[in-house]
Structure 1
């Protein structure tokens, strides 16, 4: 509804009211019609002037400011002056959209602030634990004066382990920072995912034996399945997921890797029969430093960034990763990769001799 129609409706309402009052007292149709026409015209002129001058022009100015701020000067100049037939309706829509966007931005800022506080708290705790341990061992060695050589060697070994833990933490933090900023490029290449899984199994064979966990990759996956991805980064994903299954697996258990060919993707699943994860913890599993069992996580070590790195690598490939788990039964981590279609070989056509 534009301005003229709005003013005409209001003027007509006033004119009808006054003409009805005139007819009530005068009982003359002629006077009622004259009153109606005079009131309609005068009301229309007065209302139009007042609304245009004090309300409508200011609404148009507000709309123009909002519109220009949203588009930006360069884009506005390229498109030309935006002309609208109904700025009141447009202002209403613009303000609603602006309010929705601002609410979303505020919610995002609150989430980011909470994430920042949690991250700083976690990283402070992760650094303090090995640092205090190292400090304690060094002070004990200084007080002892290396008189007990056997104890000194034990303390030095423990301090060395905590130094290694700090090194792993710093290395993982640096890697995840570069992954987030895109500093580490994805070097795509075509390779057999089957062969890579077998290589990872071979590299983790002794570690699996130490944890008394059996690695399973079924023979049905011997046929080559080609994918297009960064081979070394996918190796890191597999190592992190399988190593994670060792940490939270059960004694005498197993870790299996399965492949499923989809339309244009390959689904890789790493399954263990370990402790499992509570359903409430699943949405936060890929967060940095998130641990489902803090006491056990301290015992088994690790930086707490392994799954976060896995998620960043998979998403850098424009693919997805998910997890499903049942407490006391085990967990399955699955991620997709781009499948490479193989050209079909030409059939051998017998040559007919004349």
Structure 2
């Protein structure tokens, strides 16, 4: 048998219930004193109506007026006509429990927003620190070379050309840094449209291997497509941008791969709609604590070693943005001294 509960009553129902509780004893008392049923009924009607109006007035004037202010604080906007209608007619019909749930939901939402803002602020500070450091290194180098040249080294043919070449390298590094930052900004804002087409992914992988063959020869690294993955697989994507992704991944594999090691590309049809591409090396690998952050801008697992091998620190971040712009995902698997595999998915061929 269901039990009667008052905690979920609206102000109207609560006023009526309270008025009845107060009015019934009064009407019974009138009946006992007057011995007249009619007098008891009249007393019940009058006291019920009076109590109901008084209690509802008190609830709406002193309690739900405060609740209305709470809702206005929650939404923090000037109420439109529609919202004013809500405050006037819908809100008074809400129970206290419903109001409590709304406030708790708002509080949880604000807590989540505050945590997100703190996280973003921390990321922003770290990003600015890294950006400052990335620019500071080549700028100070350029300043040092130019200062030395102006103070007499310019007239010394034994060093002037070398200093100018080093200055040029640092300028080139800054240009690449600005270019990569500009590309990420455009990818994030959607300013770089995707020109998707059907193409064979293995052909693009082979082209990237050929483009970077000189760097591989320097480190005696061999690259190829995994046995069993040679069968041509079509994907539907922006060929130029996916070429950039593959180039960045293979360059990293060359930089951090073992001297005399191997780079292997794998291609899998995961289902009728997606293709998985993976680039693997047998190099130094990445520690587990670094894996969640390697796609962040300027994040380096080993600052000193990373800067010695070159790069802007934005390569993997660019890869992530390009793949996500395609509506796909990128992931990493790695183990120190065993190697690293970075994979991403693409849409299968569109008919």
Instruction: Provide TM-score, normalisation by structure 1.
Output: 0.82
Counterpart for residue 94 of structure 2: 87
Counterpart for residue 281 of structure 1: 290
Aligned pair 1:269/2:278, yes or no? yes
1:134-173 alignment to 2 at 5 Å? 134-173=142-181
Q: Deviations over 1:87-107 (max 9, x none)?
A: 345533433333233222222
Distance in 2, matches of 1:17 and 1:67, equals 44
Cα gap change, 1:68/1:283 in structure 2, threshold over 3 Å: closer, same or farther?
closer
Cα gap change, 1:95/1:208 in structure 2, threshold over 3 Å: closer, same or farther?
same
Q: Deviations over 1:286-327 (max 9, x none)?
A: 111110000101110110100010000000000000111111
- Secondary structure at 1:191 match in 2: strand
Q: 1:208 aligns with which of 216, 221, 225?
A: 216
Q: 2:345 aligns with which of 326, 336, 341?
A: 336
Q: Deviations over 1:208-231 (max 9, x none)?
A: 111221112135333221111000
Q: Does the CA-based 8 Å contact 1:288-1:304 persist in structure 2?
A: yes
Shift of 1:18: 9.2
Shift of 1:148: 3.5
- Secondary structure at 2:159 match in 1: helix
Cα gap change, 1:60/1:289 in structure 2, threshold over 3 Å: closer, same or farther?
closer
Distance in 1, matches of 2:123 and 2:73, equals 35
Structure 2: runs of 5 or more not aligned: 1-8
Shift of 1:249: 1.3
Distance in 1, matches of 2:246 and 2:323, equals 11
Q: Does the CA-based 8 Å contact 1:62-1:91 persist in structure 2?
A: no
Cα gap change, 1:60/1:169 in structure 2, threshold over 3 Å: closer, same or farther?
closer
- Secondary structure at 1:267 match in 2: strand
- Residue correspondences, number: 331
Distance in 1, matches of 2:189 and 2:279, equals 28
Distance in 2, matches of 1:17 and 1:242, equals 88
Q: Deviations over 1:260-300 (max 9, x none)?
A: 10111000001111111111111111111110000101110
Counterpart for residue 220 of structure 1: 228
Counterpart for residue 349 of structure 1: none
Distance in 1, matches of 2:76 and 2:177, equals 48
Counterpart for residue 54 of structure 2: 46
Q: 1:98 aligns with which of 102, 106, 111?
A: 106
Q: Deviations over 1:40-89 (max 9, x none)?
A: 6664443233223332355457658867959x849x49xx9545372345
